[in-house]
Amino acid sequence: MEEVGFRNIDWNDVPNDILLYLFLHDQPTIGEKRAESTKKEYFRDLKQFLEYINEKGFSSLHSLNPEHLLQYQRYLENKYKKTTLLRKSSVIKHFFRYLANKEILLQDITRQMKRPKVNSEELVNRDLFDHEVKQILAYFKKTDWFAYTLFYLLVSTGMRINELATAKWSNFRYEPSVDHFFLKVMGKGGKVRDIIIFNDVLEVVKENRRRKSLNTQIGTFCGTAFFPKANGKHYHTTYLSNEFTRVVNTAPLDFIQARFEREKEALEGGQSIKYRITPHTCRHYTAAYYMDNGIDPKALQDMLGHSSLMTTERYLRRKRSVESHAGVKLGENNFLKTFK
């Protein structure tokens, strides 16, 4: 499409599905391709929108006005929690602003859409504590080496699950200048960064490979995944994420069961709050762990691959809210001690 441009096209005759295809596959930034996972998520949300307007009798996007998009938000509001409404609304805005910028539509009709207010209490609870990490590691070390390796890698590195799923053994190396091992991964937006693999974690990784009769020699090209299947190939990101969530949240540990009880209590109170542990929970734990050990937020931003320091700050929000609590600043473990 770039070769001929968008000129001299009668967009009124172009089906909605083609407009959706253009949006999904038009490269948003030079040198940076939209991730397949993002395309799938956008497609799912926009397909839902197109089905909605078809049911309402609108065959073309050109016949929509700002009030129709606001009505769609009201429709979503009755079906989803606010965090989901926020995501779906953002996708719709992105889509229609793209069409307006390309002059496919005569104007941007998103101006009346509302921004859903999401309270911090409605966000996924991503707190994970040292004693919980130790219990999970101890349990899986005895029962499930796959889960043990997977969990150990995620909590010690802060990798995204997609970064781990796509990492290659050939991109793992030793750097003698700093006496550490590093894994090169591909992050969001195609950004490459180095992940440090500590010696104790490396021994677990090697044992995982030995159990699958795979090469453990560092610095050699063998064409296998860093965290491989039995045949050396990569796990699919979705499978790895789902399997992580399944095995961790079915571990017979009291604090995990307590998380589900909290979910049930919240639901009974009219709130949909998730307390279960996911791969992303591990990233939040890693950020808090590093900060506890004196690492500044800017260094954490680089390590986690965040494009904005604000994102890193959000990861640390809960911890900082506790540390800045007035009672903590008082410095007393016993309130009545003040009166003795």
Q: Let me know whether 58 and 132 are in one domain.
A: no
Q: Which helix (H) or strand (E) holds 99?
A: helix 82-101
What pLDDT shows up at residue 328?
Answer: 41
User: Residue 98, SS3?
Assistant: helix
Work out how many domains the chain is built from and give that number.
2
Please indicate, yes or no, if residue 336 is contained in any of the structural domains: no
In DSSP notation, 50-66 reads HHHHHHTT---GGG--H
Q: Let me know whether 152 and 291 are in one domain.
A: yes
The enclosing domain of 280 has a CATH number of 1.10.443.10
Q: Residues near 154 by Cβ (< 8 Å), separated by ≥ 6?
A: 161, 164, 244, 279, 282, 283, 286
- Spatial contact of 182 and 172, defined as CB atoms under 8 Å apart: yes
- The pTM score is 0.62
pLDDT(125) > 70:
no
pLDDT(120) > 70:
no
- Spatial contact of 55 and 70, defined as CB atoms under 8 Å apart: no
Q: Let me know whether 156 and 105 are in one domain.
A: no
pLDDT grade for 113, boundaries at 50, 70 and 90? confident
Q: Let me know whether 102 and 127 are in one domain.
A: no
Q: Let me know whether 225 and 312 are in one domain.
A: yes
Q: Which residues in 73-145 belong to E strands, given as ranges? A: none
pLDDT digits (tens, 9 = 90+) for 138-177: 999 999 999 999 999 999 988 999 999 999 999 999 998 8
Q: Let me know whether 132 and 200 are in one domain.
A: yes
**Residue at which a domain ends, from 91, 117, 143:** 117
Please indicate, yes or no, if residue 335 is contained in any of the structural domains: no
Across the strands, what pairs with 185? 193
pLDDT digits (tens, 9 = 90+) for 196-237: 899 999 999 999 999 999 999 998 778 899 999 999 999 999
**Residue at which a domain ends, from 117, 132, 155:** 117
pLDDT(329) > 50:
no
State how far Cα 237 lies from the chain centre.
12
Please indicate, yes or no, if residue 340 is contained in any of the structural domains: no
Please indicate, yes or no, if residue 184 is contained in any of the structural domains: yes
Q: Which residue has the higher pLDDT, 292 or 272?
A: 292
What pLDDT shows up at residue 227?
Answer: 97
pLDDT grade for 301, boundaries at 50, 70 and 90? confident
Please indicate, yes or no, if residue 330 is contained in any of the structural domains: no
Look at strands 192-197 and 180-186 and give their pairing: antiparallel
Q: Let me know whether 202 and 72 are in one domain.
A: no
* Distance set, CA 307 to CA 192, 303, 314 (Å): 12, 11, 13
pLDDT grade for 312, boundaries at 50, 70 and 90? low
**Residue at which a domain ends, from 90, 117, 144:** 117
Give the domain range for residue 111.
11-117
Q: Let me know whether 214 and 145 are in one domain.
A: yes
- Spatial contact of 89 and 116, defined as CB atoms under 8 Å apart: yes
Q: Let me know whether 84 and 182 are in one domain.
A: no
Please indicate, yes or no, if residue 81 is contained in any of the structural domains: yes
Please indicate, yes or no, if residue 338 is contained in any of the structural domains: no
What pLDDT shows up at residue 339?
Answer: 42
Across the strands, what pairs with 175? 180
